[in-house]
Structure 1
Amino acid sequence: MTQRLILASNNAGKLKEFSELLGPIGFELHTQGEFNVPEAEEPFATFVENALAKARHASRLTGLPALADDSGVCVNALGGAPGVYSARYAGEPKSDARNNEKVIADLAAHADKSAYYYCVLVYVRHADDPQPVIADGAWHGEIIAQPRGSNGFGYDPYFLLPSLGKTAAELSPQEKNAISHRGQALRALVAKLT
């Protein structure tokens, strides 16, 4: 028997990625948009609080279990910025190009270019679930000044994986999912749910 699960996102890529791992363990994923759920506010300074707020919001408005993620890139020399503000680092409206320009500019005076992508996933059985299931993952690399690759999105063309000699944007979707922060968090979540 399958259990319907609301993904607190309207991202088709995330829906596909999550469905591939959660489908085999009995979940049928739907985006919140299919239920006319508006995006939740993300007012918090931590990934876990934002993901929990999004999951509770989607569950409250649909009456179904929900899954939310919050993720971003954290640059060590910038004190962890852009962090939870990754999508809007250069302000509104959201722009990957402007966000990347700002990170490169902010990092120019620093020798340390190390960074990591971080993802938190939160699963709630119902809106007031007192024991949400939480999983996370981190993917370490460094920021480079010149973009490379055409896959991925966001900071991927500037996120170099020194051990592979490639940026995240130079990996195929399958390669990326096997090692990324979101892939790690999703596998950890599946392990907890099974």
Structure 2
Amino acid sequence: MRKLETRTIVVASHNAGKITEIADLIAPFGFAAKSAAELAFDEPDETGTTFEENAAIKALASAKASGLPALSDDSGLMIDALNGAPGVYTANWAERDDGTRDFAMAMEKVQKALQEQGAEKPQERTARFVSVLCLAWPDGHTEFFRGEVEGTIAWPPRGTAGFGYDPIFQPEGHKRTFGEMTAHEKHGWKPGETQALSHRARAFKQFVETCLEG
């Protein structure tokens, strides 16, 4: 495992919500970070069929363009009754014909698909959020960190916090959706604590333990 010896990195994303979450997670470590969006990097085509492949595509593109280590996230919602869909195509389910993303529409699409499967009870609506972080260096070296959180699909959507599908994802052991939680409640982790709630926070905890500590 390669340690990260610089505190200057690129967040390899154009997703405003994701950039904010990653910025919140790295802030306690004193990172100077800029996003691929701020640096006006082109968005690479995500042609992979796994979260790991797509995370690597994004991180390597930003690392090579900037000459700095780059941290990317590829994440998605996997619903058991839909055979793991939308999975790596989670963001695609929100795309409109004009290229914009409408997650209210995407959540309706999820609900319709579950209704078509007759999945009405919570035990029939099990799902998980998956996040894979990739840290890439300009020389092509990569490290991967995967976090998952189990839960169920709630309906109707609840809460306006977070982004994406957060208002319909109720993590296991909780009565509120991610959309009803504050950023700290959702991440559930900061330096010095051992618990991590969200998929992204769990992946980030592995990143910290592997590349920053020791």
CA contact (8 A) 1:121 1:134 kept: yes
Tell whether 2:57 aligns with 1:53.
yes
**RMSD, matched Cα:** 1.9
Question: SS where residue 133 of structure 2 aligns?
Answer: strand
What secondary structure, in the 3-state scheme, does the structure 1 residue paired with 2:63 have?
Answer: helix
Q: Is the 8 A contact 1:15 1:30 kept in 2?
A: no
- Residue 25 of structure 1: how far off its partner (Å): 4.2
Equivalent of 1:123 in 118, 135, 147: 135
2: CA distance, partners of 1:184 / 1:174: 13
- Mapped contact 2:25–2:201 kept (Cα < 8 A): no
Which of residues 198, 201, 206 is equivalent to 1:180?
198
State the AA in 1 paired with 2:130: Y
What number of residue pairs does the alignment pair up? 192
Unaligned runs of 5+ in 2: 189-196
Aligned partner of 1:188: which letter? Answer: Q
- The 3 A distance-change label for structure 1 pair 16 and 160 is closer
The farther-off stretch of 143-152 and 24-33 is: 24-33
- Tell me whether 1:190 sits opposite 2:198 in the alignment: no
The residue aligned with 1:107 is 114
Residues 146-161 of structure 1 mapped to structure 2, 5 A cutoff: 146-161=156-171
Map residues 154-169 of structure 1 onto 2, 5 A cutoff. 154-169=164-179
**1:47-100 Cα deviation digits (max 9, x unpaired):** 000000000111111111111100011001111100111111154332101111
Equivalent of residue 155 in structure 2, options 132, 135, 145 = 145
Which TM-score applies when normalising by structure 1?
0.90
Q: Unaligned regions of 5+ residues in structure 1, if any?
A: none
Q: Which 4+ stretches in 1 moved above 6 angstroms?
A: none
| Correspondence for 2:92 | 88
1:7-57 CA-to-partner distances (Å, cap 9, x unmatched) read 111345444433444344453211112322111111111100000000011
Report the identity percentage: 38
Whether the 8 Å contact between 1:117 and 1:138 is mirrored in structure 2 is yes
Distance 1:163 1:173 in 2: 18
8 A contact 2:71–2:136 mirrored in 1? yes
